[in-house]
Amino acid sequence: MADSFGPMRDDDADDGVVGMGPDSGSSRKEPIRVLVVDDHALFRRGLEIVLAAEEDIQVVGEAGDGAEAVDKAADLLPDIVLMDVRMPKRGGIEACTSIKEVAPSAKIIMLTISDEEADLYDAIKAGATGYLLKEISTDEVATAIRAVADGQSQISPSMASKLLTEFKSMIQRTDERRLVPAPRLTDRELEVLKLVATGMNNRDIAKELFISENTVKNHVRNILEKLQLHSRMEAVVYAMREKILEIR
């Protein structure tokens, strides 16, 4: 399937989607159950047709706005919610928090035309595990669904760059106070976190630091436990906000 939802820019064509998280590719006995949420019925139908060709992915429902998405998520308990950002009645970002409450195991991927840094940042804060632009190819949508189902975070490359820019400006804006001391990370954990922030996967981090992938996974797990967070992207946001690390 070489179709796409829109033109892919030349500068992103070779980059694919940036993944952040544990190893992907783990075997699943049951198909990944997906809820598609978008206010355009034609786009929803297009996604359903594309994903129907994937043996390991099953579209179990659809919704036209955030309010309906919350109801459907509570009823269907999907593995993945593929959701637009801007929709009538209730937007996707606002719906994220409610979906996590009614279907805690569901992982949310924002699929949108919005390349605004604020939307990306708010989506991560609201609990989204992925943020993809609709310009990506249909193959990449299926790949991202599998990766997120296996515990990774997924983000379009152009948005990853903007996220780092937002981190840096956020540090400059929040130079006032810290209410509680940040949890203490080891020097090695800080090294790993800095590489995570650049979008490296476990394999690349292991090569960079001359350690095993399993050791990298253990470091990432320890970082998330210490910071009491759930995903790599949340860890990077927290670390930048609390000045645990700085990316130049």
- Please tell me the predicted confidence (pLDDT) of residue 12: 39
Q: Is the pLDDT of residue 145 over 90?
A: yes
Q: Are residues 148 and 212 in the same domain?
A: no
Q: Report whether 53 contacts 80 (CB < 8 A).
A: no
- In-domain check, residue 77: yes
Domain-ending residue, one of 156, 186, 205: 156
- In-domain check, residue 94: yes
- Please tell me the predicted confidence (pLDDT) of residue 53: 92
* Torsion angle (degrees, nearest 10) of CA 22, 46, 93, 125: 10
Q: Are residues 42 and 98 in the same domain?
A: yes
- Please tell me the predicted confidence (pLDDT) of residue 228: 81
Residues above pLDDT 90, as percent of the chain:
40
Separation CA 131–CA 119 (nearest Å): 9
CATH number at residue 234: 1.10.10.10
Q: Are residues 124 and 225 in the same domain?
A: no
Q: Are residues 190 and 146 in the same domain?
A: no
Q: Is the pLDDT of residue 73 over 90?
A: yes
Q: Report whether 24 contacts 147 (CB < 8 A).
A: yes
Q: pLDDT class for 160, splitting at 50, 70, 90?
A: confident
Q: Are residues 112 and 85 in the same domain?
A: yes
Separation CA 241–CA 248 (nearest Å): 15
Q: Are residues 61 and 113 in the same domain?
A: yes
Reported as a single tens digit per residue, the pLDDT across 165-202 is 656 555 555 444 444 556 788 989 988 988 887 667 78
Q: Are residues 26 and 149 in the same domain?
A: yes
- In-domain check, residue 6: no
Domain-ending residue, one of 156, 184, 208: 156
Which of 247, 231, 85 lies closest to 169 in space, CA to CA? 247
- Please tell me the predicted confidence (pLDDT) of residue 71: 96
Q: Are residues 183 and 151 in the same domain?
A: no
Q: Are residues 35 and 137 in the same domain?
A: yes
Q: Report whether 199 contacts 18 (CB < 8 A).
A: yes
Give the position of tokens 């981090």: 205
Please tell me which residue, 239 or 226, carries the higher pLDDT value: 226
Which of 80, 120, 121 lies closest to 99 in space, CA to CA? 80
Name 39's Cβ contacts closer than 8 Å, sequence gap at least 6. 64, 65, 84, 87, 88
Name 157's Cβ contacts closer than 8 Å, sequence gap at least 6. 12, 15, 16, 17, 18, 199
Domain-ending residue, one of 156, 182, 215: 156
Q: Are residues 206 and 114 in the same domain?
A: no
Separation CA 205–CA 193 (nearest Å): 10
Give the position of tokens 């630091």: 209
- In-domain check, residue 162: no
- In-domain check, residue 73: yes
CATH number at residue 127: 3.40.50.2300
Q: Are residues 184 and 147 in the same domain?
A: no
Number of domains in the chain: 2
- In-domain check, residue 169: no
- In-domain check, residue 124: yes
Reported as a single tens digit per residue, the pLDDT across 114-127 is 888 778 878 888 88
- In-domain check, residue 7: no
Q: Are residues 180 and 152 in the same domain?
A: no
The secondary structure element, H or E, covering residue 112 is strand 107-112
Domain that includes residue 103, residue range = 18-156
Please tell me which residue, 196 or 133, carries the higher pLDDT value: 133
- Please tell me the predicted confidence (pLDDT) of residue 13: 37
Which of 120, 117, 108 lies closest to 63 in space, CA to CA? 108
pTM, to two decimals: 0.62
- Rounded mean pLDDT of 208-219? 93
- Please tell me the predicted confidence (pLDDT) of residue 11: 39
